Structure 1
Amino acid sequence: MPINNIPDLYLNNPSLRPDLFVYDFKMTEETIKAKVNLKMHMFSFLQTGKKQVHFSNDAVLVDNKHSLLIKKGNCLWSELLDTEDTYYCKLLFFSEHRLHEFLKKHVKDKEPHQETPLYFAIENDTYLTSYLNSLATIITAPPTFMDDLLSVKFDELMLYLINKYKSDFESYLLSLITKEESSFKNNIEENTYSTLTLEEIAFLCNMSLSTFKRHFIKTYNVSPGKWLRDKRLLKAKELLEKGEFISSDIYLDLGYNNLSNFSTAFKNKFGMNPSEV
């Protein structure tokens, strides 16, 4: 699966990537788990459809009742049609340089919370509706005038969200410029029981599959495939022993494409069929 470099994919000249950039994204077919290398921080103002984003240690699903602010880096995202025929999302990208300028003017002597997520969910309201309408007007202006107006509109948005979400939003903004990354082990253990493939988990750890496997074996002294398979089967046995689920309820959530493969792996591991637990 190719990696989509965003927003470079939307720019006429990616080498001249601006500090602020607005793009109207529309599509009529769903995209499932596209690999994205997000090169700028991004507001995603969803208008129609649904968006799901997988990070190294979390995932989020939103519809047009919420917008997202997403930290630059690797992620997987799915863009889903809802009742409408067209998926539509207005995207606002901003650089770390532009964020530094804003923080220097408006946020003084603060530190981010120790654990800050890779996204910030924003509840849509009448202000944001009006704001997006104004952005639509700005992007039709002459380039120089548009750049100046967009800079003002960026500060306006940030100040509004600080007023709305207080220190939580300030802390998130500060976290966007820190260099600390989640540890490799935390990334792995957050996705132990997910439906992501090894290749997808490696991508979220910013590694090639071969580098990921070498690093995994060095850390856990076992191959990632065996480690994940054993962990997921032990989880399956635990769920079945509680008597609240049967095999058909859980196999998809534990990364198996079909019930037959799950049952075979379970029997090979425990010497019994799942139905015998």
Structure 2
Amino acid sequence: MKFTLPLFEIVTNLNDMAESERPKIGYSCYFTRSREGEQFVPEHVFSYQISGRLTMTDDNHHTNIFNEGDFRFIRRNNLVKYIKEPPAGGEFKSVSVYLDQQSLRDFSIREGIEGSSVRSTASVIKLKPNTLFKSYMDSLQPYRQDDVVISDALQQLKVNEAILLLLQADPSLADVLFDFSEPGKIDLEGFMEKNFHFNVQMKRFAYLSGRSLATFKRDFEKVFNTTPGHWLQERRLKEAYYLIREKGRSASDIYLDLGFEDLSHFSFAFKNKYGLTPSKVMTH
């Protein structure tokens, strides 16, 4: 299979692609104002910040800021929030290499490398500056031409090269790269309290808690005595009330952080529950 990789293709959400359809190399580039969002990360990602600034917050509320010239590694099966900011008068640019599970399994067998079951606590890792990393990312420049057809074989070579470079820079990453286990069934109440502020599809919550969607919904009602959708809205509104009333935060500052898609929907739901608009709660 061959395909043309458009110039600076924006690849920010791989959630609904089959593994075989996911690009191995992705670019993000735009001129406009800052963008905010969140996503489920299905594969390990090795990235380089070409220009602009990227702020990422993981599900443990750890925040990393990546500026021009920074390298990062993002572990698979995690939820992250991000803010992409182009520089004044310039472009936000980053390049990412997606280390898919099949490539890593093949590499593991070929090289005889096994990972341990010990999981790193960090979902997003800022990598130390490395001249080999920079040379590697520069070598991807030809892949950004919109008239170049990149074969699977060529892309696979670059993925394998990225794996080798990461292992050379930090051999302990083998325990992360070659851990092929899937999320196990975990305590649902603790998991939801930790992640309720992420606005992702219910199937992602189910998967990360080690359940099928049907089992997730069934277990959820046993634990919370309500549906996931209803509980999520109530929990987010409860947190919003606390932040507005006790911390003096404004609705516009918190609605995205709490998983609401737009301010008007948040304000309507808030007033419907508490009988007051967010601004009225602040003044009481």
**What range describes the TM-score normalised by the shorter chain of this pair?**
0.5 to 0.7
Shift of 1:88: 1.2
Q: What's the offset of the Cα at 1:111?
A: 0.8
Quote the Cα distance in structure 1 between the aligned partners of 2:166 and 2:232. 40
Matched, 1:111 2:116: yes
- The 5-angstrom pairing of residues 108-257 of structure 1 reads 108-114=113-119, 116-137=121-142, 147=153, 151=157, 153-167=158-172, 169-175=173-179, 177-181=180-184, 183=186, 184-192=188-196, 194=197, 196-197=198-199, 200=200, 202=202, 204-205=204-205, 215-224=219-228, 227=231, 245-246=247-248
2:109 equivalent to 1:90 = no
Find the aligned partners of 2:184 and 2:129 in 1 and give their Cα distance: 29
Describe the SS at the equivalent of 2:178: helix
Task: Say yes or no: does 1:44 pair with 2:44.
Answer: no
Q: Residue by residue, what CA displacement relative to the aligned partner does 1:94-134 show, whole Å, maximum 9, x if unpaired?
A: 33222123223446354131455544432344332222112
Which of residues 6, 15, 19 is equivalent to 2:14? Answer: 6
Q: 1:217, 1:149 → 2: CA distance? A: 45
Percent same amino acid among aligned pairs? 18
Q: Which residue of structure 2 lines up, in the alignment, with residue 68 of structure 1?
A: 72
Whichever residue aligns with residue 45 of structure 2, its letter is M
User: d(CA) in 1 for partners of 2:16 and 2:227?
Assistant: 35
CA contact (8 A) 1:25 1:90 kept: yes
CA distance in 1, matches of 2:90, 2:109: 43
Deviations 1:146-183 (A, max 9, x none): 935862x544433332233332x1211123x2223463
Match in the other structure for 1:28: 31
Tell me, in whole angstroms, the C-alpha distance in 2 between the residues paired with 1:182 and 1:117.
20
Q: Residues 217 and 161 from structure 1, CA distance in 2 versus in 1: closer, same or farther, beyond 3 angstroms?
A: same
Is the radius of gyration larger for structure 1 or structure 2? 1
Runs of 5+ in structure 1 lacking a partner?
none
Secondary structure of 2:47's match? strand
CA RMSD, 1 decimal? 4.9
Shift of the 232–174 alpha-carbon distance from structure 1 to 2, 3 Å rule, reads same
Structure 2: where are the runs of 5+ without partners? 1-10, 208-212
TM-score w.r.t. the length of structure 2 is 0.60
Give the conservation status (yes or no) of the 8 Å contact 2:50–2:94: yes
SS state of the match for residue 101, structure 1? Answer: helix
TM-score by length of 1: 0.61
Q: CA–CA distance in 2 between the matches of 1:239 and 1:6?
A: 32
